[in-house]
Amino acid sequence: MLPEGQPIVPFGQRPILDIQTISPDYARVLRVPLLRGREFTDHDNADAPGVAIVNEAVVRRYWPNDNPIGKRIWLGQRPLPVEVVGVFSDLKNVTLGDETSPEVILPFPQLPWPLLNLSVRTSGDARGLISAIRRQVSEVDQDQPLTNVQTMEELVGSASQQQRFTMLLLGVFSATALILAIVGIYGVIACSVAQRTQELVIRMALGADQGDVLKLVVGQGLGLTLTGIAIGLAGAFALTRLMSSLLYQTSATDPIAFGVSALLFTAVAMLASYLPARRATRIDPTEALR
């Protein structure tokens, strides 16, 4: 296409965009917000001047500081341009995980297609209306087949099936890794503190206060844990960029995820240091030394 206001370039160098054709009730049925201008009417037929509705992506790319209503667009090798009469809100027109691409929407009579998508809105059970819809279509044209009937929930579900399966696998592996990390941190620190039982009892026998012993053990455990967290965060920041293509509207360096993980590991380390140290401080020094 060649939008008005853009440099005139040869046909092969012009940008490629999505073109859709719709009926006048399209926006009402699918509840697409009309941001500017007007929708199509029955008067926008094959004999009327060419008109178009664009999405926000077109406006952002070609007319960010101008009013798009009234702008002209040359499509393909058509000699006459179409005039922009409205702007629709962006919808996902590629995949659910990709950014919306620029899209120009024309009235169906001005660019008819051999294949159609019929959208029906209902407040009841969508599946229960399929037979009634088939009868209505048959009354218009008995030779018109009606295939690939899906509800919107089924359509969205099938479009995101691969992504949901991938995220399910990642979630299972992540949960397993998290459990192993928690068990590992708790086990290593708790074992290390338990092996120092005699040392801690000797400190108390020499006059160390119970609170001082607990602070010493918990502080040393937190020091090791914070060092490990720092190293782990550095590695995670480097590796999560590899999976950025699998994320949807989430940064690969999401601060909430990293922060919650760090706090969780810190809490586990404190618990693993505190409980064995508290048990050690309750042991009778004579019994421990024996």
How much is the pLDDT for 244? Answer: 66
Cβ(228)–Cβ(237) below 8 Å = no
Question: What pTM does this model have?
Answer: 0.61
b or e along 19-48 (b: 16 or more beta carbons within 10 Å of the residue's beta carbon)? ebbbeeebbeeeebeeebbebbeeebeeee
Q: Quick: pLDDT tens for 144-158.
A: 888 888 888 887 777
Q: Determine the straight-line distance between the first and last CA of the chain, rounded to whole angstroms.
A: 90
Q: Which of 125-134, 199-208, 224-233 has the lowest mean pLDDT?
A: 199-208
Q: Quick: pLDDT tens for 218-255.
A: 888 888 888 888 888 888 877 776 666 666 666 767 77
- CA-nearest of 101, 10, 119 to 61 is 101
Q: Which of 47-51, 106-110, 233-237 has the lowest mean pLDDT?
A: 233-237
How much is the pLDDT for 109? Answer: 92
How much is the pLDDT for 4? Answer: 85
Percent of the chain with pLDDT over 90: 17
Q: Which letter does DSSP use for residue 15 in this model?
A: P
Average pLDDT over residues 94-110: 82
Residue 2, pLDDT > 90, answer: no
Residue 134, pLDDT > 80, answer: yes
Residue 53, φ and ψ in degrees, nearest 5: -120, 135
Encoded tokens for 234: 């550095």
Task: For residues 21 and 52, give the distance between their C-alpha atoms in angstroms, rounded to a whole number.
Answer: 9
Cβ(88)–Cβ(54) below 8 Å = yes
Which stretches of the chain are assigned E, i.e. beta strand? 2-3, 18-22, 34-37, 51-55, 72-74, 82-88, 103-107
Q: Quick: pLDDT tens for 169-183.
A: 888 988 898 888 888
The amino acid at 270: M
Q: Quick: pLDDT tens for 78-92.
A: 888 999 999 999 887
Q: From the CB of residue 149, how many other CB atoms can be counted at a distance below 10 Å? A: 14
Q: From the CB of residue 178, how many other CB atoms can be counted at a distance below 10 Å? A: 13
Average pLDDT over residues 90-106: 79
Q: Please, which pLDDT band fits residue 54 given cuts at 50, 70 and 90?
A: very high
Q: Residue 68 to residues 11, 43, 82, 110, 141: CA-CA distances in angstroms?
A: 23, 21, 12, 20, 39
Q: Which residues, other chains included, contact 149 with Cβ-Cβ below 8 Å and sequence gap of 6+?
A: 130, 133
Q: Please, which pLDDT band fits residue 38 given cuts at 50, 70 and 90?
A: very high
